[in-house]
Amino acid sequence: MRTEQLADLTQPQRDRLAFLELHVRFIGGIRRQDLVTRFGIQSAAASRDMALYKGLAPGNIDYDSKGKSYVLGSDFQPIFDFPPERVLSWLIQGFGDGEPMRLKSWVVSESPSGLTHPDLDVLASVTRAIHQECPLGIEYHSISSGRTEREIAPFALIDNGLRWHVRAFDRKSQEFRDFVITRIKHPKVLKSQKAEPHELSDQDIQWTRIVELKLVPHPDQPRPEITEMDYGMQDGVLRMKLRAATAGYILRKWSVDCSPDHSLRGHEYRLWLKDHLAIYGVRNAVLAPGYRSPDQQRLETESD
């Protein structure tokens, strides 16, 4: 029935309702002004869209008179079937919030998808907690600890190239950590609480620290000029600024040889991190191919 009712609406109406649903589900609420600003409509038209959506899905939104906004209803059931990549592109890049219909491709292309996509209900709880700066109760499954109950204070999403993580303060370990979203079960936004000052992103040293990297063509690979072209290098160097919390992921994704003596072999290692000390103190540097800290190098020398 909902499908038939949606089909009777105009395309602009469906786009506005889809935007409304995305906002409520993943941000936690929406105001009339959000529709007015996004679509350039009058306030009265935005009110009609709110009423129309509520009529199509009565349990999806409730009016919060205190906040003067519509918030997620207790019986929410989505009426639009958004693919995960569309949701993530909207959350991260701010586009793709219209009705999730299949559009015509203008050129033939093929793009491999990620290893897995997060469950959208889990992702919605995570993003609402981030937006509302609330802690999140979760059941988490890790390879080392198995199943545990945790409370985390999330503040950012991270794509490591294979899977999505949420960066958060973990109240169990009292540390900032990355949690794989596909390993989170039964999330619950703890609306009655707010994240404590020491749990916020500006207290996360690995998040606030910016590392400057200089990547060059791998000295042991042929045709360095081709590598310079492929990576848009200037004067034979690709300069990057990354958060310490993401550096290890990026260096692994790009297969950058991070050994001090460019000792890794293989066609995938087109790049070499010229100054491996640039990532000294980066916690996830262990993910960077070939990286050995100065302490490790000293121990290796002493054991020779």
Q: What is the pLDDT along the chain (304 residues), one digit of tens a residue?
A: 476 788 889 999 999 999 999 999 999 999 999 999 999 999 999 999 999 999 999 999 999 998 899 999 999 999 999 988 889 989 988 878 888 876 566 576 666 655 578 999 999 999 999 999 999 999 999 999 899 999 999 999 999 888 899 999 999 999 999 999 999 999 999 999 999 999 999 999 999 999 999 999 999 999 999 999 999 999 999 999 999 999 999 999 999 999 999 999 999 999 999 999 999 999 999 999 999 887 666 655 555 5
Q: Is-contact 166 178, C-beta < 8 A?
A: yes
DSSP state of 207: H
45 closest CA partner among 75, 92, 10: 10
Q: What is the CATH number of domain 2-81?
A: 1.10.10.10
Type and span of the H or E element at 175: strand 175-180
Domain spans, the chain: 2-81, 120-204, 209-303
Structure tokens given for 120? 């959208």
Please report the beta strands in 65-218, taking only residues with DSSP state E, as ranges in sequence order: 69-72, 136-142, 146-159, 164-170, 175-180, 184-189, 210-217
Q: What is the CATH number of domain 120-204?
A: 2.30.30
181 closest CA partner among 117, 134, 252: 117
The predicted pLDDT at position 103 comes to 56
- Give the CA distances from residue 60 to residues 84, 119, 193, 249, in Å, rounded to whole numbers and listed in that order: 20, 19, 23, 37
The predicted pLDDT at position 204 comes to 98
Q: How far is Cα 48 from Cα 164, in angstroms, rounded to an integer?
A: 37
- Distance linking the first and last C-alpha atoms of the chain: 75
CB hemisphere CA count around 116 (13 angstroms):
11
The predicted pLDDT at position 260 comes to 94
Alpha-carbon Rg for the chain in angstroms: 23
